[in-house]
Amino acid sequence: MIFEDADLVDFNLDVLGQVFGPTSPEPPLVPGVTQAACEITTLQYRIMVYNQNPDGKIGCENDLQRRRDFFAELGALEQSLSHRLSYILNPAPGTAFLK
């Protein structure tokens, strides 16, 4: 899906673009984290716009279905994340932000 490029780089980088290691300057940078944050932010924005003007009455079947659709989109987005973007597998400031 959208985060496939993050799988091409299987390591964190330092601020100089080198492989992050014990002597690297902090913080480690995780390839793909900015793209993931942008996708999540875009979805959040669409949800906020919808919440301002929901289709019909709040709680009606159309409204509930739209909210389920948003939730499904969030789940699909989460599933598409590279293992490098998981805070549990790769604890770094960028992955903590995504969490």
Q: What is the pLDDT of residues 44-90, one digit of tens each?
A: 999 999 999 887 789 999 999 999 999 999 999 989 988 889 888 89
Residue 3's nearest CA partner among 44, 43, 33, 42 is 33
pLDDT of residue 26: 87
Q: Which structure tokens are listed for 84?
A: 């490098």
pLDDT digits (tens, 9 = 90+) for 17-46: 888 988 888 899 999 899 999 999 999 999
Q: Going by C-beta distance under 8 Å and a sequence separation of 6 or more, which residues neighbour residue 28?
A: 12, 13, 14, 20, 92, 93, 94
C-beta of residue 28 within 8 angstroms of C-beta of residue 13: yes
